[in-house]
Chains A and B, each alone.
Chain A
């Protein structure tokens, strides 16, 4: 077992990542942070719209889009990838709608059917053309965030260059943040009350499709580093943790970014310690943070609930007792 779980060493697992191999680790952590921020912010709206599992579906079904784009363009070009993923995302949304509207299959089953079929197509393409597509089956699931530092470097200035995936993800994260700030009102209103949104002159349908398209973009840029299933984690976990701690949307967004940063940093340490998948470790830490928030949240955490319940049992409020008499 000691072979399986290496003993924890403070110096080696907490200090060393930042003293030796700083460059690689900071890039990985940064990438994780960008992924978690962009996904988390979009995910907040998905959760408010009760569409968390549509996110799940889209994150799986962009795979055939990416694979076909690779096959057609014979390159890992950013544009081809984005286009492929956009098309796949839109096809998924439409497929779900068609199955749901044109037959008596319920929406949840329609989601399940649509994305698994598309994902299966993607996996088959990848396993049949593995040498051409330059992706493998495992990468599809949990990405290769550890390879990020070795991506094509893009020179920002004479002395400073950043790997392309990090730069791309950083831009996507910044644009996501800009969207959230600029269209705060539109997104908020249309998420909670489509009727009110329409009366205020906001096109709720347009916002819906724009959100789905942006989701596809975010998912595809995160895909390479964290893979399909872990994208879902990044969509839901940071936001869910933030939802436990606040009921105000701006605070929730801020907390989401904070959780994103914490989980990617802690993830790097966990992965260094256990020598396991980097992206997996980040999500494990994000889950751990959620568990902490669930138990200790001052708003409605399990602990607070338990204490409240105990109090009510011990000393019933005066008014109620009087009322019974």
Chain B
């Protein structure tokens, strides 16, 4: 499904890299104190946020953008690999690592926490694998098991840390739901390094990741070390989770992995575009979350980021041009309307045919009889034809005359129908009384080139299996009042 465009990927990734590096160098060296947001109104907070004067705001925003990028990129891989819930298990499994990293020197040292959390996350995924291989438990049970076991150990450790004299100010509890305002310059620098590393690795091994994600067997045959790539992916995934922890929180990190990537998945069929889109969506929802949670005192950041991402996903789900629910509904609706118009045209043709194409208007009553529908339905259908310039109406809309275009379409539909019936009886050896149903469906979807091939295969036949004339090119061109019509006059290209 995905095609590989190395040049454009590297091209895009280069832009992302430059952006990240620029951000990195604009980071202010001075640390900001957090939690000094006191009694202020929402507007004041909003102005404070958008003036970017406050270093805390800058760090929060930068951090959210960085985590959005790395989570979006790595999330794309787990979404296309159907590993979404591995991300969930991994993100819960890092909690004991965070706590142990904190205990390392009982301060919030970003590097210690990073190392601890990454190790715990990798250990968790390794145990999921081990359980899957050595027991009869299914993957979902193994994931839930590891998630719960690690998380409970983490909860115990966190509650023990909070009991310590220094623990209450530790901010370890902020890792549960995230607090972007708690990000300091060191945190953001670490996030920038890890994001750049992630982008570089993905850029360098893009082809390998692509192939292993979609066709592991093929990847193995072409000599890509699939297992190694899997470990690299898990490592990068753990990195993404860990740097997102402080702002999003352990509980909802998985959403930042899954949701932006799933939204991107709905919008494109190309992996490289999906990576870019997911990174952009991650950035946008991260920044939106940082902003919204900044408006109120002690609002956690994570849930707002997740809601931002869910909103993006909702929009893609509904309005996506290709796979969006509304667009698909619209396409289905316009198709069924077209089919209905074509059926009305066909009935008009049938009525005209029954009276040897005398150039008189067809009345709604005749149509109602033929179609066995009520007058209201028929009148509605006629107005619909008029709206599309396929017919003109007279006698208070009760008599219909086809326009040249309407005539052409009517002829084309009837021709499609009869040609298909003939094809089924001649080529597929079906009996003549069984072919109508099938032709009713296919007449609306046969393309012009298929029709040309059918005509050729059927030797430019003039009569369908029921003995009726198949309208030919000449009839279509002649307009709705063919004066004299004989069998010889019909047919296509060849005979006219």
Contacts and interface: CB of A to CB of B under 8 A. Distances in A.
Contacts of A142: 155, 159
A53 interface: yes
A235 B144 contact: yes
B152 A280 contact: yes
Contacts of B283: none
Nearest to A291: B149
Contacts of B399: none
A116 interface: yes
Contact of A277 (B136, B156, B299): B156
Given A120-B302, A280-B155, A236 B144 contact: yes
Nearest to B176: A141
Nearest to A229: B151
B299 A127 contact: yes
* Size category, B interface: 35 or more
A138 B141 CA distance: 25
A53 B140 CA distance: 6
A254 interface: no
Contact of A233 (B141, B148, B296): B148
B121 to A, nearest CB: 16
Contacts of A137: 176-177, 300
A229 B303 contact: no
Given A236-B145, A240-B137, A287 B251 contact: no
Contacts of A240: 137, 141, 145
A276 B255 CA distance: 28
Interface in A294-325: 294, 300, 302, 305
Given A56-B144, A105-B265, A232-B147, A287 B152 contact: yes
A230 interface: yes
Nearest to A274: B160
A276 B261 CA distance: 37
A103 B323 contact: yes
A290 B147 CA distance: 13
B310 A120 contact: yes
B49 to A, nearest CB: 18
Given A106-B84, A113-B259, A127-B298, A243 B144 contact: no
A52 B88 contact: no
Nearest to B131: A294
B255 A124 contact: no
Interface string B160-190: 1101100000000100110000000000000
Given A4-B164, A276-B156, A124 B304 contact: yes
Contacts of A128: 296, 299
Interface in A240-294: 240, 243-244, 270-271, 274-277, 279-284, 286-287, 290, 294
Contact of A287 (B149, B176, B265, B299): B149
Nearest to B254: A112
A247 B152 CA distance: 27
Nearest to A247: B136
Contacts of B252: 116, 119-120
Nearest to B306: A120
Contacts of B84: 106, 108-109, 111-112
A233 B140 CA distance: 13
B435 interface: no
B307 interface: yes
Contacts of B176: 137-138, 141
A15 to B, nearest CB: 22
B172 to A, nearest CB: 11
Interface in A103-139: 103-106, 108-109, 111-113, 116-117, 119-121, 123-124, 127-128, 137-138
Contact of B134 (A116, A120, A284, A302): A302
Contacts, number: 211
B92 interface: yes
Nearest to A123: B303
Name the residue among A102, A109, A124, A240 with the largest chain B CB count within 10 angstroms: A109
A47 interface: yes
Given A47-B138, A137-B177, A229 B156 contact: no
Contacts of A294: 131, 134-135
A94 interface: no
A273 to B, nearest CB: 11
Residue of A103, A274, A300 most packed against chain B (CB within 10 A): A103
Contact of A47 (B141, B155, B164): B141
Interface in B262-308: 262, 265-266, 296, 298-300, 302-304, 306-307
A286 B84 CA distance: 26
Nearest to B311: A117
Contacts of B160: 4-5, 274-276
Nearest to B329: A102
A51 interface: yes
A237 interface: yes
B258 interface: yes
A99 interface: yes
B17 interface: no
Contact of A284 (B82, B103, B152, B161): B152
A113 B262 contact: yes
B258 A112 contact: yes
B361 to A, nearest CB: 45
A55 interface: yes
A281 B156 contact: yes
Contacts of A244: 135, 137
B325 interface: yes
B248 to A, nearest CB: 10
Contacts of B115: none
Most buried by A among B144, B300, B302: B144
Nearest to A1: B103
A146 to B, nearest CB: 10
B65 interface: no
A3 interface: yes
B79 interface: yes
Interface string B70-105: 000000000100111101100010000000000100
Given A109-B262, A243-B136, 12 more contacts: A47-B137, A56-B88, A106-B79, A109-B261, A113-B313, A120-B306, A121-B303, A232-B147, A233-B149, A274-B156, A276-B159, A300-B135
The 10 closest A-B pairs by CB, nearest first: A233-B148, A116-B255, A283-B152, A287-B149, A280-B155, A120-B303, A117-B310, A112-B258, A120-B306, A109-B84
19 contacts: A4-B160, A52-B140, A52-B141, A56-B144, A56-B147, A109-B84, A112-B84, A120-B307, A121-B307, A229-B147, A229-B155, A232-B147, A236-B145, A280-B152, A280-B156, A282-B152, A283-B149, A287-B149, A290-B145
